[in-house]
Structure 1
Amino acid sequence: MKTTPSYRADIEGLRALAVVLVILYHYDVPGITGGFIGVDVFFVISGFVITQLLQRAFEKGTFQFRDFYARRIRRLVPLFLLVSTVTFLMISPFYIGDAYYIFAKSWLSSLVGLSNIYYFQELAQYFAPETRSLSLLHTWSLAVEEQFYLIWPLALYLAYRFGKGRDGHWPFRITLVATFALSVYLAGAYPSAAYYLLPARLFEFMLGTGVALFSRQLPALNRPCAEILAALGLAMIIATGLLLTKHDHFPGYNALWPTLGTAMVIYAGLHQTGTLTARLLSLPVMVFLGGISYSLYLWHWPPVALLHYQLIELTWTNRLLLMVGVVVLSWLSYRFVENHYRNRPWSFKKSFMVFIFVPLLIIWAIQSTIRIADDLSFRIPEERRALYQVIANNNPADLYKRCFKGDPVEFNQGKACLFGAESENGQPNSMLIGDSHAIAQIGFVEQLIKGTDHSLLMVTRASTPFLPTHIAEKVQAADPTQVARNQALSDYLGQRPMTVFMGAWWSAYLKNNAFQGYFLDTIGWLKDQGHTVIILEDVPELPSSDFAECLLKNMDDCSISATKAEQNLENFYRFRAAAKQRFPDVKWINPRKVLCDAQRCQTVLNGIPLYRDESHLNNVGAIEIGKVYLERFGNPLGGDEKKKAQQ
């Protein structure tokens, strides 16, 4: 590359280090547990480079907002359009249902620089998608950067315009400390918001902007000091990439180590360009990778997301092939796309129309088509469409939505929510209560109550396990709807003794140790009302929701490890043991007996896919489990003799 006064090869090397850490982390390379911090290194570099660019323009009096944003569009968007379009074509034969529609929505939000907000909202939902299969998930960091580009030029322009002659140190220091404190707070209190949204990352950009803004006022470094500072900074980046894990507090104080380290390397290079660290970062291979780092970042994730979706293991062979392919693609796109458009003298209007407005209309049309009239016939072979319909169109929460999504207090007691035998005087003698895991088992329960005298009313609600009023008011106080539903249920259950089937996502709630006591007291309350209590145990939880569509992916083996499934149930087993000791007459029904042996648990039964996501059964699957359960183990409710007599 042509050397200019503003060009620094060591910063290209920092970019290379950042993108390599991210790629190794996303490709599950052993030992790189904190490689995600490469994104934070990029943020510091961006803060420094953009601030230097703006400073030079302000000092020369040549800065124009429209020119700045036109350059940003030509620099970032053409390559994104290429990668995202190729990704769309690549996933179209494979992604189905919500996964395909989610891609289209994320494509639109990524183009306008809002994908971080989109993913923050999407992934916070109860039925959130499997993150490792989201092909454009990595664009969240680009959106954060683009949002910084929106606010920082104006802020710096106003500082130059009206702040001349004033000391800018203290306002900057106060803002830096405040944004860092905000990041620490958000990472603890709202970790998802901290991860995806700009406020918690702002201090990282400011570390870079601070080095650029105050480089002339900070102490000049002699060679030994620069060597030590640069080496220490590089060590902080690498150590964090190797030692941090996704379970640690982040960003917050753990983001300080790689970002401060990056700022230290940049600062040392301002005064001494030939340090050992700078020479290492300026090696030709590092400069090459740094130069194509934006292309590398965009290309590296979509193919591995498709592998995750297709349940293809990331072997070393797959990793190496991906790395080589991504480097080749990145070099080609850098040479023929990035460099082709970035220096074109197009106006802001032309850049916006060509690269944002027109593609926005096209992507919106694609998204609308997928949402309204996506014809699966051209994407899914005919022999697999019936399987897809089982998975996609048999969600019990949709089939029986009047028993799940209705009024929390005036819950539906009509025929739509009644199952089994005819009730006497319109009064059912049984109930199924609980959350979405309870309604997911209605097909299973329906098979058990056939031929018995159980007349069952189903009353369920998402994320609302049954707790009697006095417990619900304490535990669910943050959600008045949950409290209202459980108060209404408590009033109904207090009228007369019944048989109560209780289901829930036990393992999720029991991660909070206090819930063992809450559920034990709930069983006690039901017993005090004279009810016969039957606990529906849960089915094995899948490693990801992508396993629900295993049959559609031509997998030879759709089973999962029984050992891992059992590990997820450790808290439930403790609860069950305590409940059996305290309430020995409570009945426990375990559908896992049908699915699991000592080694494997099945996700398919008699050729039928059982799940609709990682933890919920589809209705056809639940019915099939019920049929097989009766064949193998008989009816735990009794009534077998009555059924035989009827036959």
Structure 2
Amino acid sequence: MIALSPPRPAVTPIAGPASGSVPTPPSAAAMGTRKAGFYRHDLDGLRGVAIALVAVFHVWFGRVSGGVDVFLALSGFFFGGKLLRVALNPKSSLSPIPDLIRLVRRLLPALVVVLAACAGLTIWIQPQTRWETFADQSLASLGYYQNWELANTASDYLRAGEAVSPLQHIWSMSVQGQFYLSFLLLIFGFAFLFRRALRTHLRSAFVVLITALTVASFWYAVVAHQDNQSLAYYNSFARAWELLLGALAGALVPYIRWPMWLRTVVGTVALAAILSCGALIEGVKEFPGPWALVPVGATVAFVLAGANRHSHPSTSAKLPWPNRWLAAGPLVTLGAMAYSLYLWHWPLLIFWLSHTGHKHASVLEGTVILLLSGVLAYLTTRLVEDPLRYRAPAGAGPTPVLSIPWRKPSAGWWRRPTLALGSTVVLLGVALTATSFTWREHVTVQRASGKELVKLSKDDYPGARALIKHQRVPKLRMRPTILEAKKDLPKSTREGCISTFTNPALINCTYGDPEATRTVALAGGSHAEHWLPALDILGQRHHFKVVTYLKMGCPLSTEKVPLIMGNNAPYPQCYEWVGKTMTKLIADHPDFVFTTATRPWNIKPGDVMPGTYIGIWKQLSDNHIPILGVRDTPWLLRDGDPFQPADCLASGGDAESCGMKRSEALADRNPTLDFVTRFPLLKPLDLSDAVCDKEICRAVEGNVLVYHDSHHLSATYMRTMTGELGRQMGAATGWW
């Protein structure tokens, strides 16, 4: 099963929303007005609506609400709009340092607290097999490159089956953080270079520049979305236009002269679009492509509807009614703590689902999760964010901030960051970083011993021989261990001899006996590849070379629009690659093509011979190339979702409870046998009895872990299948 994104629980995992918080306390200027005291409470309310949509859609509907895009556009408006007015002012300082300090004070304290809590919950709830991923993503979150970490995971077939991370939602904060830093450098650098030359036209020139960047980013998003939507979803460049469009709205606000009726119509339509976006648009598949214009455009329209150059009220009385409605106290309150609520709700949901094993949160469970998230968000806002964010001299009036309405900042310690609180946050961040690095080093050390896996005693670790030959199994610890399993891979993976999802190249590598005259072409996806450890040994033993023609998630098939099994995402590159591969296979004319001949059913238990394989067999047969069609190994599913035996074993399961009934994974008869008379050059191979007994496919056989993930055999176990594979190949080829 191929999954470019982690498998879906009750939630849509790749739909983590943006933080939805402003990086600095908004001033009147930041709101696009010119009179002190005007504050856009309606935008606080919009943030409240957005975070409510995000949380509710995550908890109960498993869809993308569009709230992430609302947050991104608002962040661009708040931050970019302010800098447009401040940094391009001829009298302003050209130092970005104060803004960077404000960003750090605004964003990091709450993030560190939530990450520390998630670290504790990970150790308590998650199996050790998940700790490494948490360590990687914890460092990525602190370093604001979580979106790229997830993009790499999405394109890494070996990690694609991992469970949804409790930190996955922080990808959007990373996008924002990268935007803030890039925009700061861009605008201050532009001002430094052109302040004197352009003078009064400085601001207009910069607006032209970011307009061009917005168009370029949107064009890139459309292209990237068509090429690989799962990767584009996390791509900072494909998301930049959403923030830049918000910044452009900040530049337009002072010049808006709309009549009230038009502002009311625009505000009403915009709010309706935002509220209905999650129900009408499948954002997890459509964003950040053209459909993202709906929530982003609606947000910009709502911002502009509430602005009027000749009407800068100190209250919301002169706002259109949709804006006045969002300026209501409860929504403003929710918007004020949107950042913390966003940080808390996702990990609480994921940890609860992991702890209970449920695929969905019930109405009661979801309600409790949201209420607990709200309480923790309030406490985090009041006890962590505010004290470390607002710095004002004693006796000074309160800064206009997104404060919680029922609490007015008071003079004294509450408005000053305390040394104890600041030191605690710093120590938590240091401890989290050190712990993450320490665990990663521990795992590296544990896996270093995995090099000895190729030399395990056949008597101590019989593996498949315990099933085939009923060999005695001594009581020894399982190998590979749960920490070694992830890297127990074929040499072709480690040596880059399989094309990735995004690499269109055909890569040929040679194993077995490179000097041999006989050739077996190993062709197809990773389920063909995982036979390489046994084929390599057989090639050396019986003097034939094994040449690879491999691409992740791409079995040889005539399917014109292949789907990635697991998330059903289109995989057009696979079809193109298969065409090139077949041309080269026919030109190379190997003695045999070794490839998979079956696939698991998507709709019922068992396996099937896909009809799209027939065209491949016909091409090979027409060119007199024999086929070694191996029956695919069982894919481990539980309630329709893939599960990892290593996770199950780490959580206290045993070989049987972490396995699967044979009848659920395999049909009673090899489906390939029905096509032998039609294709005389097709030689079926079936090693199911080397993986499963008559009743069950266990997670461990003969002291060897069978799978390194939910559907790929470990390289160590595959080596124990060499004898049986050799017996069947010898009979099929007549070579020995």
CA distance in 2, matches of 1:74, 1:331: 18
Runs of at least 5 residues in structure 1 that lack an aligned partner in the other structure: 377-384, 418-424, 469-474, 640-647
**Counterpart in the other structure of 1:49:** 78
Q: Which residue of 1 aligns with 2:369?
A: 322
1:322 shift after superposition: 1.7
What does residue 57 of structure 2 align with?
A: 25
Change in Cα spacing, 1:525 to 1:412, as seen in structure 2 (3 Å) is: farther
Determine which of 198, 201, 215 is the counterpart of 2:253.
215
Deviation of 1:395 after TM superposition, in Å, equals 6.9
Q: Which residues of 2 match residues 167-316 of structure 1 at below 5 A?
A: 167=204, 173-222=211-260, 224-246=261-283, 248-271=285-308, 273-274=316-317, 275-307=320-352, 311-316=357-362
Match runs of 1:59-74 below 5 Å = 61=91, 63=93, 64-74=95-105
Query: RMSD in angstroms over aligned alpha carbons?
Result: 5.3
Structure 1's 206 and 152: CA in aligned 2 closer, same or farther, altered over 3 A? same
- The correspondence for 1:122, drawn from 135, 144, 153, is 153
Q: 1:240 to 1:388 in 2, by over 3 A?
A: farther
What letter matches 2:436 in structure 1? Q
Contact 2:130 2:647 in 1 (8 A): no
Q: TM-score when scaled to structure 1?
A: 0.72
Q: Within 2, Cα distance between the matches of 1:345 and 1:388?
A: 60
User: Which amino acid in the other structure matches residue 78 of structure 1?
Assistant: P
Number of aligned residue pairs: 583
Instruction: Work out whether residues 135 and 302 of structure 1, in 8 Å CA contact, stay in contact via their aligned partners in 2.
Output: yes
Deviates more, 1:201-210 or 1:531-540: 531-540
**Residues 520 and 594, structure 2, Cα contact 8 Å, conserved in 1:** yes
Shift of 1:554: 4.7
Greater alpha carbon shift after TM alignment, 313-322 vs 143-152: 313-322
Check whether the contact 2:480–2:488 (CA below 8 A) recurs between aligned residues: no
1 or 2, which has the higher helix percentage? Answer: 1
Contact 2:221 2:238 in 1 (8 A): yes
> Within 2, Cα distance between the matches of 1:333 and 1:360?
16
Q: Compared with structure 1, are the counterparts of its residues 432 and 201 closer, same or farther at alpha carbon in structure 2 (3 Å cutoff)?
A: closer
In the superposition, relative to structure 1, how do residues 85 and 397 fare at CA in structure 2: closer, same or farther (>3 Å)? Answer: closer
* Pair 438,185 (structure 1): closer, same or farther in 2 beyond 3 Å: closer
Larger displacement relative to structure 2 (334-343 or 296-305): 296-305
- Distance of aligned partners of 1:22 and 1:283 in 2 relative to their CA distance in 1, 3 Å threshold: same
Residue of 617, 629, 639 corresponding to 2:713: 617
Q: Which amino acid aligns with 1:502?
A: T
Deviations 1:406-465 (A, max 9, x none): 897673325xx9xxxxxxx9999989766542354579999xx9xxx9999766675377
Counterpart of 2:650, as a letter, is: L
Retained in 1: the 8 A contact 2:73–2:244?
A: yes
Change in CA separation of 1:76 and 1:517 when aligned onto 2, cut-off 3 Å: same
Task: Report SS of the residue matched to 2:595.
Answer: strand
Q: Distance in 1 between matches of 2:278 and 2:159?
A: 28
For the structure 1 residues 122 and 428, does the alpha-carbon distance in structure 2 shift closer, same or farther, using more than 3 Å as the test? same
Shift of 1:236: 0.9
Deviations 1:131-159, CA, capped at 9 Å, x for gaps: 65223221111111111111323444436
Helix, strand or coil at the partner of 1:533: strand
Return 267-276 or 397-406, whichever deviates more. Answer: 397-406
Cα–Cα, structure 1 residues 42 and 547, in superposed 2: closer, same or farther, change >3 Å? farther
Taking the TM superposition and a 5 Å limit, the aligned residue runs for 1:226-625 are 226-246=263-283, 248-271=285-308, 273-274=316-317, 275-307=320-352, 311-316=357-362, 317-344=364-391, 362-374=431-443, 386=477, 389-393=480-484, 398=489, 411-413=510-512, 435-438=525-528, 440=530, 463=551, 493-494=590-591, 501-503=594-596, 516=613, 519-521=616-618, 523-524=620-621, 528-529=624-625, 531=626, 533-540=628-635, 542=637, 543-546=641-644, 549-554=647-652, 582-583=678-679, 586-589=682-685, 604=699, 610-618=706-714
Q: Which amino acid aligns with 2:79?
A: I
**Paired residue secondary structure (2:628):** strand
Closer/same/farther in 2, CA of residues 216 and 514 from structure 1, 3 Å limit: farther
Q: Could you tell me which amino acid in structure 2 is paired with residue 411 of structure 1?
A: T
Query: Which whole-Å CA distance do the structure 2 matches of 1:334 and 1:256 have between them?
Result: 31
Aligned residue for 2:171?
140
Work out the CA distance in 1 between the residues paired with 2:584 and 2:488: 22
* CA displacement, residues 282-332 of structure 1 (integer Å, 9 cap, x when unaligned): 333322221111111111222333345554433314322221221111111
**1:183 Cα deviation from its structure 2 partner:** 2.2
**Deviation by residue 1:329-358 (Cα, 9 ceiling, x = unmatched):** 1111111000120113799xx9xx979998
Structure 1 distance, partners of 2:259, 2:662, is 59
d(CA) in 1 for partners of 2:212, 2:664: 48
* Contact 1:25-1:33 at 8 Å conserved across structures: yes
Query: CA distance change for structure 1 residues 302 and 491 in 2, over 3 Å: closer, same or farther?
Result: same
Letter in 1 for 2:338: S
Task: Supply the distance in 1 between the matched residues of 2:278 and 2:574 (Cα, whole angstroms).
Answer: 39
Contact 1:108 1:364 in 2 (8 A): yes
Rate the CA distance shift 1:170–1:127 in 2: closer, same or farther, 3 A.
same
- The separation in 2 between residues aligned to 1:399 and 1:170, in whole angstroms, is 52
Deviation at 1:20, TM superposition (A): 2.1
TM-score (normalised: structure 2): 0.65
**2:246 alignment partner AA:** G
CA distance in 1, matches of 2:237, 2:40: 29
How far the C-alpha of 1:80 sits from its partner, in A, is 0.9
**Residue matched to 1:80:** 111
Cα displacement string for residues 517-562 of structure 1 (whole angstroms, at most 9, x for unaligned residues) = 6632464268x24x47343234235424546522433579657799
Distance 1:504 1:394 in 2: 26
Whole-Å separation in 2 of the counterparts to 1:410 and 1:558: 35
Amino acid at match of 2:391: R
CA distance in 2, matches of 1:148, 1:386: 49
CA contact (8 A) 1:539 1:591 kept: no
Q: Please report how far the alpha carbon of residue 403 of structure 1 lies from its aligned counterpart in structure 2 after TM superposition.
A: 11
The Cα shift of 1:118 comes to: 2.5
> One-letter code of the match for 2:180?
Y
List per-residue Cα deviations over 1:140-181 (Å, max 9, x = no partner). 111111111113234444369354433456555544434323
Deviates more, 1:72-81 or 1:547-556: 547-556
User: Residue 276 and residue 199 in structure 1: after superposition, are their counterparts in 2 closer, same or farther (change >3 A)?
Assistant: same
